[in-house]
Structure 1
């Protein structure tokens, strides 16, 4: 199995198109066309993780956090980032990062937190905008069904629990083929009128390459007339954070103790307790202060996240309990999620959970 085949499987779970613009995801070190000897899954790629990969004959490291976040101007080994890159290259190890692509996946980081904590019926807290696109094209009536079916096969036309969704109009198109054209209909130098079908289909942003390839491959004209729009429709399957409910309500302190124990947190920093029962829970792995207002607007009783600053706790305003359990602690089970996913997808392949410690924060 090639690295490209493994990353294609990972992108079924978390398409890179949904990563945040500031992020650096995908293959960071190595070649997509080399044969994979083994896969090591980690939260962070540090030198000890590369050593573990070497020891276990794993030449592909699947990492949640990207080891290269901003550009490297020098690779001299003076920083931990440079040393990791040098060691990986010397030992022919590839490094692939998922980060916010997996954060935004409905089956990703936050879904795993909900599973661990027993939060039921989770939904996306902050849906990502402009992830649904619409294609409009024009095709001779006789070719319309063939083209529509090809677009459906490429992934267009799926809306929620429905597939093969489209809308068509009938009309007359006109065009004149100029000297260098190769017209399927009409003659060069003459205005031609053709009975055409106007086809409208929507698709996910991550599928755009496949959908447009299907359009060009199956459209009979040498020049294809088409329009692509990014829609403002909310996509409930892609975005940051999740919100769901506990099967049985709990009091605030027993719930926080449950979170501390279940998430192996060394401590929890939290805002004022407000003296009401807890049932609706919002979660966001990693740095989640930006989602406080969304959690409040969604009616969450408690918001579990990390990296909350001093003044940001005031934003709770006695409407919600903000619980900062630690960055590593919110994301630690991501490794297990990825190992389970890859093991199911490629059951006869060596997929290992990294044992190296990567949490940079220690508690006294």
Structure 2
């Protein structure tokens, strides 16, 4: 088994196309063709993480956070990032990061938080834009059914709970091939009119390569005419954060104590108590202050995330309980999620949960 076998499966859960533009996800160190001896799953990749991988005979580290975030201009070992990369390379250990690709997954970081908190009726808090594409092509009407079916089989035409979705319109297409052409229908050098069907389908950006390959392989024309656009439509099942409901409403203080216990944190920073029952809860793993307004608009009674700044607590405005449980604490169960997911597929392969805590923050 090689690294590409592992990452192909991992990217079914967290396609790299889901990642935010600022992020750095995928294989950061290593070669996709390398045979895998074992997998170590961690939240962060530090020197001690690489040491753990060496000790446990794991030559692939799957990390949530990317050790390389910005560009590296030198590899002299002068920073912890450089030292990690150097040690990994010297010991033939590959490093793969999922980060916001997994953040935006329906079954990713925030979904795991919801599971741990026991939230029901969950949905995405901030549905993602820019990952739904639309393909329009023109094909002889006699070939429309077979081409349409091939596009469906490649992943096009799936909208929510529906599949095989398309729009079709019959019209006339014209073309004239030059002396180097080899037209499927008509003759070179002569203007040809053909009864054609215009087919339009939408699809997730992660499927673009396979869908365009299917189009080229199954379209009868020598030159395939098509239009491809990225829509501004949101995807209801992909995006940052989630919102759901507790089985039973709780008092604010009871909810905060529940958070402290279930999320295994020594400190919960929170906004002013407003004597409000907590039933509807929004969550977002990691730095989530940017989504406070989204949680309020969604009608959440409480919003659980991390890294809120002083002035951001004022945004509660006596309408929502803001709870900062800590960055590491909000994402700590992510590595369990990844181990469970990989183990189901590679049940006879060594997928090891890192025993090391990489939390850089301590409380006294």
TM over 0.5: yes
Instruction: Give the structure 2 partner of residue 113 of structure 1.
Output: 113
Instruction: Give the structure 1 partner of residue 301 of structure 2.
Output: 301
For 1:165-184, list aligned pairs within 5 A: 165-184=165-184
For 1:95-114, list aligned pairs within 5 A: 95-114=95-114
Q: 2 CA distance for matches of 1:145 and 1:92?
A: 50
SS at match of 2:129: coil
For 1:224-263, list aligned pairs within 5 A: 224-263=224-263
Which shifted more, 142-151 or 92-101? 142-151
Instruction: Give the structure 2 partner of residue 193 of structure 1.
Output: 193
Instruction: Give the structure 1 partner of residue 285 of structure 2.
Output: 285
Which shifted more, 146-155 or 324-333? 146-155
For 1:74-223, list aligned pairs within 5 A: 74-223=74-223
Q: 2 CA distance for matches of 1:349 and 1:179?
A: 58
Instruction: Give the structure 1 partner of residue 312 of structure 2.
Output: 312
Q: 2 CA distance for matches of 1:22 and 1:182?
A: 45
Which shifted more, 228-237 or 26-35? 228-237
TM-score, normalised by the number of residues in structure 1: 0.99
Instruction: Give the structure 2 partner of residue 325 of structure 1.
Output: 325
How many residue pairs are counted as aligned between the two chains? Answer: 364
Measured after TM superposition, the shift of residue 35 of structure 1 is: 0.8
SS at match of 1:245: strand
Instruction: Give the structure 1 partner of residue 25 of structure 2.
Output: 25
Q: 1 CA distance for matches of 2:25 and 2:233?
A: 26
TM-score, normalised by the number of residues in structure 2: 0.99
- Deviations, residues 187-239 of structure 1 (Å, cap 9, x unaligned): 22111111111111111111111111111111111211111122222211010
Measured after TM superposition, the shift of residue 259 of structure 1 is: 0.6
CA RMSD of aligned residues (A): 0.8
Q: Which runs of no fewer than 5 residues in structure 1 stay unpaired?
A: none
Runs in 1 of length 4+ with deviation above 4 angstroms?
none
Q: Which runs of no fewer than 5 residues in structure 2 stay unpaired?
A: none
Q: 1 CA distance for matches of 2:323 and 2:251?
A: 14
Q: 1 CA distance for matches of 2:228 and 2:77?
A: 46
Measured after TM superposition, the shift of residue 68 of structure 1 is: 0.1
